Amino acid sequence: MANEVILLDFWPSMFGMRTRIALREKGIEFEYRDEDLWNKSPLLLETNPVHKKIPVLIHNGKPVCESTIQVQYIDEVWSDKNPILPSDPYQRAQARFWVDFIDKKMYDAQRKVWWTKGEEQETGKKEFIELLKTLESELRDKTYFGGDDFGYVDIGLIGFYSWFHACEKYGNLNIESECPKLIAWAKTCMQRESVAKSLPDSEKVIKFVTEIRKKFMIE
């Protein structure tokens, strides 16, 4: 059976970006369908009835939900090239730990910077920078989180980079001055075709955030 791969996604989703990158790292052709999250398609509701969220990866009619699970699935199904997870069990466990850390911390910390104001935002800014510094301390002087090879942790984190400029604009931050090694890592990742094609332009994200803030009167 020929591989039919469909991705139900939403362009600014840093979670969907993970799946886009993983598919492109493997050289897998896929049909991209951008969802309207305020008017979700019947296919999205049918393929993810539990959470009703993007991204949903549909492979030969079978849905796989949750971005981290999708990335692991892609790595297992198309295991013949560009491995994403380390082959060593301990290194694989460490990579999963850091992506789990990112999943539990990053979205909420970043959201507080561009979504809130006043004291809540100030607290959020401190939490966000502290989180980035924790990740930077794990990166150390390596090219990628796994060393010389682009992999699971890089894919797990890089999508958030497309929102950094929005955080700087609305949080009055300079992330590069706080975390220069992390920004250098992000710029290296952006040189990969799989990443460059999967992340939206930061100005487009800023425009999207501006519209959301106006809609919910966060000024």
pLDDT at 1 over 60: no
- Residue 69 and residue 61: Cα distance in Å, rounded? 17
Q: What is the pLDDT of residue 59?
A: 98
Q: In this structure, are residues 188 and 182 in contact, taking their beta carbons and an 8 Å threshold? A: no
pLDDT at 31 over 90: yes
What's the whole-number average pLDDT of the chain? 96
User: Residue 164: which H helix or E strand, with range?
Assistant: helix 164-171
The CA radius of gyration of the chain, in Å to the nearest whole number, is 17
Two tokens, residue 35: 């969802």
Mean pLDDT, rounded, for 138-162: 98
pLDDT digits (tens, 9 = 90+) for 187-201: 999 999 999 999 999
Ordered structural domains, the chain, with CATH: 5-78 (3.40.30.10), 89-216 (1.20.1050.10)
